[in-house]
């Protein structure tokens, strides 16, 4: 303690401003910009998603029409192969129907089935292979036009050449009652029935529906163009959510996520800010502490030296004066001891090395010892002292030295923070399985707003009256630590200008300690 501690600690710069600007510049502004861009972008993306959803639904309906067209072609080819090209060329429908029936097929399916221009049997029919090889005029004849009521497909002869056109038309009953229900039952890919398709006639009568639809709201519709399917309309909706709802849900979810991220970011920033603020506050308190402590060490040492030198040189006029000097030396060294004990304890606590030895302790004895240490000061400063120890208080399990240290700090504060009215009352009471030691003064008191803060390390009251008194801001934080180690607490009741009562609450036994 020979060197002045303040020279060893450099006052820290306030890092708050720098950190705040780093966070605002590096985190907050970029993420706000990103949020802004996302909020602009999300509705656009939602619009595009919606359009894509409608396009996909329309494509599904086109695929269904293609599938159905293929199915009618396959059916017609199957029939054509059975009937044979000569009879098809001949074109008489009753002959053809009879041939179909003989082969065990339904003869009542077509209203027309005949061949134009072919002169040889059909090659093995593959639906995908025919078109590219077809001569243009035949291909043109195959294009469905609103005028045609028949379907047409190329007739590829045994040499692989397109030599004619097979024309056919199915009866509506077959299309409605067999082809369409069969297709939706076996060939329509619809995993989990997520899509609902309705086939309806032009007049609105429902031909087929993959699942019932209460209202008539569908996403997309399609009038069928294939001649055999003409007069029918397809309509599609999704089972659970409409495209609009689905997209809105996605949009809301994404915006909510962006909001949530911003919120978390705000909370994070706030946390960092409050931590930095606390650290900055603590470092300011620490530097105050160093200044206070060095002052507190210097003053008593200077007094002790001055009075000791005066006594040594024999320059004391009377015996009374000499006694007074001895008292001053005694009091100041006591103050030094108390301060050094506090600092040592505090550094042990900070390093996690403070140990407590619990043993049965007589609380009354601790009170007498502390009062004994302060008797001189109490008497000299004219304090009115009251001590009230309830008889029959059993021993508590405590670290007597630490408990004495805690009480000493309270008594020391009661004396330090008293002004004109000098009164000190100590009381020991039992309360259930706890023992309470209270120290009451009629000093300056502690404002409500500070009653929690005064237990923080380095904290010293704001009032100017407090600053007239020397202190390190460690005493009460030590008291609180000691009481917590005992499984107890320190409580305060205080009115500014009237006085304070600090109470140590000590459990009789240390249940949680080994
Ligand atoms: P110090 O007394 O060294 O400042 P403490 O931790 O013992 O540190 O006390 C912290 C603060 O609590 C004091 O600065 C003072 O404002 C307030 N305080 C403590 N005891 C009393 C008391 N008996 N009366 C009024 N104020 C008190």
Ligand 1 is surrounded, with C-beta below 6 A, by: 409, 413-414, 417, 441, 443-446, 454, 459-461, 466, 471-477, 500
- Residue 204 exposed, middle or buried by CB count within 10 Å (0-12, 13-18, 19+): exposed
| H or E element in which residue 346 lies | helix 319-350
pLDDT in tens, 2-15: 444 333 333 345 56
User: Distance, CA 495 to ligand 1 centroid (Å)?
Assistant: 14
Q: What pLDDT score does 354 carry?
A: 85
- Residue 478 exposed, middle or buried by CB count within 10 Å (0-12, 13-18, 19+): buried
The closest-lying atom of ligand 1 relative to the alpha carbon of residue 439 is 23
The closest-lying atom of ligand 1 relative to the alpha carbon of residue 418 is 24
More confident residue, 162 or 217: 217
Question: Please, are residues 153 and 166 in contact by the beta-carbon 8 Å criterion?
Answer: yes
Name which residue sits closest to atom 15 of ligand 1, judged by CA.
Answer: 461
More confident residue, 292 or 63: 63
More confident residue, 472 or 255: 255
More confident residue, 348 or 439: 439
Split at pLDDT 50, 70, 90, the class of 126 is low
Distance of CA 511 to the CA centre of its chain: 38
Split at pLDDT 50, 70, 90, the class of 190 is confident
pLDDT in tens, 454-472: 999 888 898 877 878 878 8
Question: Please, are residues 424 and 383 in contact by the beta-carbon 8 Å criterion?
Answer: yes
Which three-class secondary structure state does DSSP give residue 191?
Answer: helix
pLDDT in tens, 261-315: 888 888 888 898 888 888 888 888 778 778 777 877 887 899 899 999 999 998 8
**What distance in Å separates the CA atoms of residue 102 and residue 455, rounded to the nearest whole number?**
108
The closest-lying atom of ligand 1 relative to the alpha carbon of residue 478 is 6
pLDDT at 160 over 80: no
User: Distance, CA 113 to ligand 1 centroid (Å)?
Assistant: 111
Q: Which of 186-190, 315-319, 474-478, 493-497 has the highest mean pLDDT?
A: 493-497
pLDDT, average across residues 351-378: 89
pLDDT, average across residues 329-352: 86
Task: Give, for ligand 1, the residue of 419, 457, 461, 462 to mutate: max count of ligand atoms closer than 8 Å to Cβ.
Answer: 461
**DSSP β-bridge partners for residue 431:** 434
Mean pLDDT taken over the chain: 86
pLDDT at 238 over 60: yes
Q: What pLDDT score does 364 carry?
A: 94
Name which residue sits closest to atom 19 of ligand 1, judged by CA.
Answer: 413
User: Distance, CA 433 to ligand 1 centroid (Å)?
Assistant: 29
Task: Give, for ligand 1, the residue of 460, 462, 483 to mutate: max count of ligand atoms closer than 8 Å to Cβ.
Answer: 460
User: Distance, CA 466 to ligand 1 centroid (Å)?
Assistant: 7
**What distance in Å separates the CA atoms of residue 295 and residue 301, rounded to the nearest whole number?**
10
pLDDT in tens, 80-91: 888 888 888 888
Q: Going by C-beta distance under 8 Å and a sequence separation of 6 or more, which residues neighbour residue 401? A: 357
pTM: 0.54
**DSSP β-bridge partners for residue 396:** 361
User: Distance, CA 460 to ligand 1 centroid (Å)?
Assistant: 6
Pairing of strands 396-398, 384-389: unpaired
Closest CA to 470 of 298, 346, 345: 298
Task: Give, for ligand 1, the residue of 471, 477, 480, 490 to mutate: max count of ligand atoms closer than 8 Å to Cβ.
Answer: 471
Q: What pLDDT score does 497 carry?
A: 93
Closest CA to 354 of 478, 254, 459: 478
pLDDT, average across residues 480-489: 94
Name all contacts of 31-34 with Cβ < 8 Å and 24+ positions apart.
31/261, 31/262, 31/265, 32/262
Q: What pLDDT score does 514 carry?
A: 45
**What distance in Å separates the CA atoms of residue 47 and residue 51, rounded to the nearest whole number?**
6
For residue 180 the two structure tokens come to: 């369409």
For residue 409 the two structure tokens come to: 């700090």
Question: Please, are residues 288 and 280 in contact by the beta-carbon 8 Å criterion?
Answer: no
The closest-lying atom of ligand 1 relative to the alpha carbon of residue 502 is 23
Task: Give, for ligand 1, the residue of 296, 451, 454 to mutate: max count of ligand atoms closer than 8 Å to Cβ.
Answer: 454
Indicate left, alpha or beta for 373 from its phi (over 0: left) and psi (-120 to 50: alpha).
alpha
**DSSP β-bridge partners for residue 359:** 398
pLDDT at 255 over 50: yes
Name which residue sits closest to atom 7 of ligand 1, judged by CA.
Answer: 475
Tell me the HSE value of 513 on the side-chain side, using a 13 A CA sphere.
Answer: 17
Which three-class secondary structure state does DSSP give residue 168?
Answer: strand
Distance of CA 427 to the CA centre of its chain: 50
């Amino acid at each position: 303690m020979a060197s002045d501690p303040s020279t060893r600690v450099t006052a820290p710069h306030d890092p708050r401003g720098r950190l705040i600007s780093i966070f605002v510049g590096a985190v907050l502004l970029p993420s706000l910009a990103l949020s802004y861009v996302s909020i602009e972008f999300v509705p656009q993306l939602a619009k595009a998603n919606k359009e894509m959803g409608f396009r996909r639904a329309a494509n599904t309906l086109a695929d269904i029409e293609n599938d159905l067209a293929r199915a009618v072609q396959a059916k017609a080819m199957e029939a054509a192969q059975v009937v044979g090209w000569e009879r098809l060329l001949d074109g008489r429908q009753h002959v053809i129907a009879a041939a179909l029936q003989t082969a065990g097929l339904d003869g009542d399916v077509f209203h027309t089935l005949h061949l134009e221009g072919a002169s040889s049997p059909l090659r093995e029919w593959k639906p995908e292979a025919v078109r590219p090889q077809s001569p243009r005029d035949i291909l043109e004849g195959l294009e469905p036009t609103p005028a045609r009521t028949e379907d047409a497909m190329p007739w590829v002869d045994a040499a692989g050449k397109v030599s004619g056109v097979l024309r056919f038309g199915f009866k509506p009953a077959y299309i409605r009652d067999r082809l369409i229900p069969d297709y939706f039952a076996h060939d329509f890919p619809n995993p989990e029935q997520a899509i609902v398709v309705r086939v309806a006639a032009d007049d609105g009568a429902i031909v087929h529906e993959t699942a019932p639809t209460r209202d008539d709201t569908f996403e997309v519709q399609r009038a069928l163009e294939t001649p055999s399917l003409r007069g029918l309309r397809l309509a599609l909706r999704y089972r659970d959510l409409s495209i609009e709802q689905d997209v809105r849900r996605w949009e809301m979810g994404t915006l909510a996520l962006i909001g949530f991220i911003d919120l978390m970011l705000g909370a994070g920033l706030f946390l960092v800010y409050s931590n930095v603020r606390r650290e900055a506050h603590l470092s300011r308190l620490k530097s105050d502490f160093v200044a206070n402590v060095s002052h507190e060490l210097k003053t008593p040492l200077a007094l002790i030296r001055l009075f000791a030198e005066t006594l040594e040189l024999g320059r004391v006029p009377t015996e009374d004066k000499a006694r007074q000097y001895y008292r001053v030396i005694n009091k100041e060294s006591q103050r030094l001891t108390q301060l050094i004990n506090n600092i040592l304890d505090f550094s042990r606590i900070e390093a996690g090395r403070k140990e407590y030895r619990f043993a049965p302790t007589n609380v009354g004895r601790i009170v007498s010892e502390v009062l004994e240490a302060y008797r001189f000061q109490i008497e000299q400063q004219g304090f009115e002292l009251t001590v009230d120890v309830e008889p029959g208080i059993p021993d508590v399990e405590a670290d007597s030295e630490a408990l004495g240290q805690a009480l000493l700090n309270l008594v020391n504060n009661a004396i330090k923070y008293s002004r004109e009215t000098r009164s000190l009352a100590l009381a020991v009471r039992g309360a259930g399985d706890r023992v309470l030691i209270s120290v009451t003064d009629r000093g300056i008191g502690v404002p409500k707003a500070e009653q929690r803060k005064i237990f923080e390390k380095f904290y010293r009251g704001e009032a100017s009256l407090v600053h007239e008194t020397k202190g390190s801001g460690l005493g009460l934080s030590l008291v609180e630590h000691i009481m917590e180690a005992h499984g107890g607490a320190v409580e305060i009741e205080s009115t500014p200008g009237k006085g304070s009562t600090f109470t140590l609450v000590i459990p009789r036994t240390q249940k949680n300690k080994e």
